[in-house]
Amino acid sequence: MQPEPPAPAPAPAPASAQSRPTLADVAAHAGVSASTASLAFSGAGPVSDATKQRVFDAAAELGYGGPDPRARSLRRGRSGIVGVVLEERVRAAFLDPVKIQMLDGITEGIAPLGAGLLLLTDTGEPGDNAVSIESAPVDAVVLIGCSPRLAESVDALRRRGIPAVAIEGATGDGIPEISIDNRQATRRGAEYLRELGHSRVALVTLPFDAARTRGALTPELERAGTAATTLERLAGAREVFPDAPAQVAGASSIEEGLEAGRAVLADPAARPTAIIAQSDLLAAGVILAAEEYGIAVPAELSVLGFDGIRVDGLQHDLTTLAQPSAAKGRAAGEAVVRLLAGEVPESVCFTSTLHVGDTTAAAPR
C-alpha cells in the first residue's frame, strides 16, 4: 500500500469543505449516485439497508445535515409551510385569547400536513426583500379577520395559485370561509335578556374601523364601519333592542371594557339594567367597572359576553355566547389540508351556544 499524499482530507473532519457538503458530496463519499443518496434520505424508493447505512455514515463523516429544504421545496413544489395572515401586529393578535385559540386550532388542523406556521402581517408595503403575503414560500394561507385592504393580496395569492381559507372575513372570491353566526347568536343572547325582563340595555362593542375609534357610537362611525364581526353582532342586538345605546371600545381587552363600562355606568340616572358586550374580555372589564361603582352583578346589572373563553382570574362564570374558537381554527386547518389535496372544501358557519353563567339575572324591578 502506498501513501496518498494528495488526499484532500482524512475523513472525519470536514476541513476541506469551503462550504457545506451537498447531497452529491455525500453520495460521492459513499460511492453511490446522487439519486440513490436522495432515495436513502427520503426513505422512499427501494434501497438496500447496507447502502442506506453507507450513505448515512458518509453523511455523518462529512457533517451533512440532511437535504437542503430550499432545494427540496423547489423540486417538490411544496414548502411545508402554511401562512397565517393577521391584520394586526403580532403583539395585538397574541393578546386576544380567541385568536390564540384559533391559532392553536389551526396547528391542530394542519397537523397531518406536518407543516409549520408562518406568521405574516398584512401591513401594506412589501418592503425591499421582505417576506410578505405576496412573496412567502407558503403552500397555503389562512386569512384571519381580513380587512378589505386585503383584496389585492388575495389577488396576488390567486395569481400565484396559493389556496387560501378565510376566518371571519368575507372575501367573496371563491375562498372557503369559516365563520360563526355572529348575528343570530347575539340576537339569541339579547332575547334571553329580554326574557329576563330587561329593557334598558346598553352595548359595549368592538372597534368599528381600523383606527379603533373609541367612544359613544355615532351614526357616522356606524355607517363607516368596516369590521364585519362588529357590525353583525351589533345588528343582532339591534333586532331585539333597536334603540340600545352603544359604547365603542378600542380593542378586545379587559382594560378597554373597564373604560367603556365606566362610561356607560357613570350616570346613575341613565344606568342600564343589562349590558351586552361583544367579547368576554370587554364583559370582564364591564364587570370590574360595575364593581367600582358598587353595582352588584347580576342583581343590579346583568352582563352578557361573547366568545366563551375562560377569563383568567375573573371571579364570575360569565353568561356568554360561546363560540368554538378552537374548532374554527381546526376547521380552517382542515380546509387547508383538503385544498392541498385538491378537494374543494365548503364554507362552514359554526353555531355559538348561549352559556348561562352567573352574570345575568332577572331585571331589577
Partner DNA sequence: CGGCGTCTTCGAATCGATTCGGCCTAGAAT
Partner DNA sequence: ATTCTAGGCCGAATCGATTCGAAGACGCCG
Q: Applying CB under 8 A, which residues contact a copy of itself?
A: 20, 63-71, 73-74, 77, 79-81, 83, 89-91, 94-95, 97, 100-101, 103-104, 107, 113-120, 127-131, 134-137, 156-157, 159-161, 253-255, 258, 281, 284-285, 288, 311-315
To DNA, the closest distance from the beta carbon of 38 in angstroms equals: 3
To a copy of itself, the closest distance from the beta carbon of 87 in angstroms equals: 15
Which residue from 216, 200, 237, 85 is spatially nearest to 147, judged by alpha carbons? 85
Query: What are φ and ψ of residue 304, in 5° steps?
Result: -115, 135
To DNA, the closest distance from the beta carbon of 152 in angstroms equals: 19
To a copy of itself, the closest distance from the beta carbon of 293 in angstroms equals: 14
- From DNA, a copy of itself, none, interface partner of 285 (C-beta below 5 to 8 A by class): a copy of itself
State the cell numbers at 342.
385538491
- From DNA, a copy of itself, none, interface partner of 313 (C-beta below 5 to 8 A by class): a copy of itself
Residue that is written with C-alpha cell 378600542 in the block: 250
- From DNA, a copy of itself, none, interface partner of 5 (C-beta below 5 to 8 A by class): none
- From DNA, a copy of itself, none, interface partner of 18 (C-beta below 5 to 8 A by class): none
CA dist., res. 133 & res. 141, Å (int): 9
- Residue 310 CA, chain-centre distance (Å), reads 18
Binding of DNA at residue 63 (CB under 7 A)? no
Binding of DNA at residue 41 (CB under 7 A)? yes
- From DNA, a copy of itself, none, interface partner of 79 (C-beta below 5 to 8 A by class): a copy of itself
Q: Which is nearer to DNA, 67 or 357 (CB)?
A: 67
- From DNA, a copy of itself, none, interface partner of 343 (C-beta below 5 to 8 A by class): none
- CA dihedral of 33, 36, 38, 44, whole degrees rounded to 10: 170
Q: Which is nearer to a copy of itself, 178 or 282 (CB)?
A: 282
Binding of DNA at residue 126 (CB under 7 A)? no
- From DNA, a copy of itself, none, interface partner of 314 (C-beta below 5 to 8 A by class): a copy of itself
**C-alpha torsion sign, points 307, 310, 313, 318:** positive
To DNA, the closest distance from the beta carbon of 66 in angstroms equals: 7
DSSP-derived secondary structure letter, 113 = G
Binding of DNA at residue 50 (CB under 7 A)? yes
Q: Which is nearer to DNA, 38 or 171 (CB)?
A: 38
Burial of 126 (0-12, 13-18, 19+ CB in 10 A): middle
Burial of 239 (0-12, 13-18, 19+ CB in 10 A): middle
Which residue from 154, 144, 175 is spatially nearest to 346, judged by alpha carbons? 175
To a copy of itself, the closest distance from the beta carbon of 320 in angstroms equals: 16
State the cell numbers at 15.
476541513
- From a copy of itself, DNA, none, interface partner of 32 (C-beta below 5 to 8 A by class): DNA
CA dist., res. 188 & res. 166, Å (int): 25
The gap between the terminal CA atoms of the chain, to the nearest Å, is 107
CA dist., res. 261 & res. 250, Å (int): 12
Q: Which is nearer to DNA, 91 or 159 (CB)?
A: 159
Q: Which is nearer to a copy of itself, 81 or 276 (CB)?
A: 81
**C-alpha torsion sign, points 227, 230, 235, 238:** negative
Residue that is written with C-alpha cell 352582563 in the block: 303
Q: Which helix (H) or strand (E) holds 93?
A: helix 90-94
* Contacts to DNA by CB under 7 A: 19-20, 22-24, 31-36, 38-39, 41-42, 44-48, 50-51, 67-68, 70-72, 74-77
